[in-house]
Amino acid sequence: MKKCIVFSLLFLSFLTVFADNKPNVVVILVDDMGYSDIGCYGGEIETPNLNALAAKGLRYSSMYNTSKCTTTRSSLLMGRYVIGPSYAANYSHGLTIGEVAKRAGYRTLWSGKNHSSIRPPERGFDRFYGFQGGACNFWNPGPSLKGGGKFPHIKAYEWMVDDKWLKTYIPEDPNYFMTDAITDNALAWLNEYEKEEKPFFLYLAYNAPHWPLHAPDKDIEKYKGKYDAGYQEIRKTRYKRMIDLGIIDPKVAPLFPEEIDPWDSLSDSEKKLEAERMEVHAAMVDNLDQNIGRVIKKLKEQGEFENTLILFLADNGASHERDKRAFKNYTPTGKEKMGGVMSYECIGKNWARVSNTPFAKHKVSSHEGGVCTPMIAHWPKGIEGQNKWFHEPAHLVDILPTVGDLLGVEYPQEAKAIEGVSLKPSFSGKSLSLRNVPIGFNFAKGKGVRVGSWKLVNFGKKDNWELYNLAKDRTETKNLAKLMPEKLEDMKKAYAFWLAKTTEGLNLPIRKKK
Ligand SMILES: [Ca+2]
């Protein structure tokens, strides 16, 4: 540890000289969003700000997460694979991404969702606004309406607001909307630290478009009628748009068999409700894009945009969860305003599979629809070229080593080794370094490993592995397990190796399910 401290002190002494060259870093993580929801990945949802970042930056076609909120968010924090279903993690084995940035003398800021068991101010973050848990009512995360009254509040999580921990949080502002509030806090910090010499690391951890489906009326209004054509038509249209935009090659990425209920089997009232659900989902993504636009505007006003690395990605694929409208002790009357504080809606499995077009499955699956996320990297001073794609597989455990690499922080050897590799070579179109452990997946029923173009995957079946060559079959449509038994065995060994490396020496505490 002494070496590291000496190194850090030496590094800090040079920091003032090199401060101008060090980029700011903004990591934007969104929640339960499908691979093709945003415009620059083929979606019909209006996302002009993200599209502009993509047009001037770099898009990743095979970026992976862990298929679930809490494990993704913990993996991003620690630069290691945190696996499920026990939500077990050990945060004492190394540095958080905030601690890495802090070692480089950065101002470290985190606004939004946590969903790990650490407390951000104790683990490298100067400032934190947000909540410790998973899902919230976007209009009011507290346990009751202001002034009292029942409503679908999910769970009252611990919050930090204005640098104080609160057991629950009922906002004073009658117009409070969480996506806006997460941005407001981040912008206030950027104003507060504008004159400061040191660069900043900002983690914008949004919880949209996770259920419940909540959005401002003006944003929902834009999407009225847009989903009336139903699951099959919207999915086909998306797929065609992805081909037309050159995002996928239909020869190697056929549309995965749909596994979706026929739209025509729904009654008129069911169709209306289903279409409205997707309208609000679209509004939530649109609203996210508007908020990201506010951050971009601020960076431009402050003259920081050119030397800020912005990474945008999702924590898992679109969610199939909770098709039913009733929630715990709250049963809706059916008259609640869609998207409002009293409503509790989810897109459900059918729309989730549309959101994840052209891939298979959804959140918690290790198939591509669960684990593959869009990712945009934008950094005019650090990324060569514009409107580029990077096709090698990468995983969000790579983000911490990327930040360490860019900021010049040596990861302490005493700590459990990080498992990702730096993404910096991708910024100039070069291959990533060879990995010590392959990219792997394990959450509940989902298991998998990716080595080169090969992927082994299983969803809930005992030793019933599927094998795919993603170079020829990007959408996992041709299972080669029976045709290629030797390859299958090799990949099973790779998965076992990954699982052993991921868990070794951590003495993971197992959190019992309540
Ligand atoms: Ca999530």
| pLDDT beyond 80 at 114 | yes
Contacts of 192 (CB under 8 A, 6+ apart): none
Cα-to-centroid distance, 485 and ligand 1 (Å): 35
364 versus 332: the higher-pLDDT residue is 364
What does the pLDDT read at residue 16?
Answer: 39
Cα-to-centroid distance, 365 and ligand 1 (Å): 12
Are the CB atoms for 442 and 451 separated by under 8 Å?
no
Cα-to-centroid distance, 68 and ligand 1 (Å): 5
* Bridging pattern class, strands 107-113 and 127-131: parallel
Q: What's the CA gap between 255 and 356, in Å, rounded?
A: 11
Q: What's the CA gap between 271 and 140, in Å, rounded?
A: 29
88 — pLDDT class (breaks 50, 70, 90) = low
Cα-to-centroid distance, 290 and ligand 1 (Å): 20
Q: Mean of the pLDDT values across residues 84-103?
A: 81
Cα-to-centroid distance, 15 and ligand 1 (Å): 36
| pLDDT beyond 70 at 15 | no
| pLDDT beyond 90 at 469 | yes
Cα-to-centroid distance, 371 and ligand 1 (Å): 11
Cα-to-centroid distance, 8 and ligand 1 (Å): 35
Query: Which of the 8 DSSP states describes residue 167?
Result: S
Cα-to-centroid distance, 498 and ligand 1 (Å): 23
| pLDDT beyond 90 at 36 | yes
What does the pLDDT read at residue 3?
Answer: 43
Cα-to-centroid distance, 31 and ligand 1 (Å): 4
Are the CB atoms for 376 and 59 separated by under 8 Å?
yes
What does the pLDDT read at residue 14?
Answer: 41
Cα-to-centroid distance, 319 and ligand 1 (Å): 8
What does the pLDDT read at residue 511?
Answer: 44
Q: Mean of the pLDDT values across residues 117-135?
A: 95
Q: What's the CA gap between 109 and 127, in Å, rounded?
A: 5
Closest CA to 41 of 286, 239, 224, 232: 239
Q: Mean of the pLDDT values across residues 220-228?
A: 98
**Residue written as token pair 């998306």:** 238
Q: What percent of the chain has pLDDT over 90?
A: 79
What does the pLDDT read at residue 89?
Answer: 66
Distance of CA 402 to the CA centre of its chain: 17
Q: Mean of the pLDDT values across residues 296-304?
A: 98
Q: Mean of the pLDDT values across residues 384-394?
A: 97
Q: Mean of the pLDDT values across residues 400-426?
A: 87
Q: Mean of the pLDDT values across residues 77-90?
A: 76
Q: Mean of the pLDDT values across residues 452-457?
A: 97
CATH number at 2-432: 3.40.720.10
Is the preceding omega at residue 254 within 30 degrees of 0, hence cis?
no
273 versus 461: the higher-pLDDT residue is 273
Q: Mean of the pLDDT values across residues 18-37?
A: 90
Q: Which residues surround ligand 1, an ion (CB under 5 A)?
A: 31-32, 69, 315-316
Number of Cβ within 10 Å of residue 40's Cβ equals 22
What does the pLDDT read at residue 25?
Answer: 98
Q: Mean of the pLDDT values across residues 475-494?
A: 98
Which amino acid is it at 480?
Answer: L
253-269 residue pLDDT tens: 999 998 899 999 999 99
512 — pLDDT class (breaks 50, 70, 90) = very low
| pLDDT beyond 70 at 151 | yes
What does the pLDDT read at residue 322?
Answer: 76
What does the pLDDT read at residue 327?
Answer: 66
Cα-to-centroid distance, 206 and ligand 1 (Å): 10
| pLDDT beyond 60 at 169 | yes
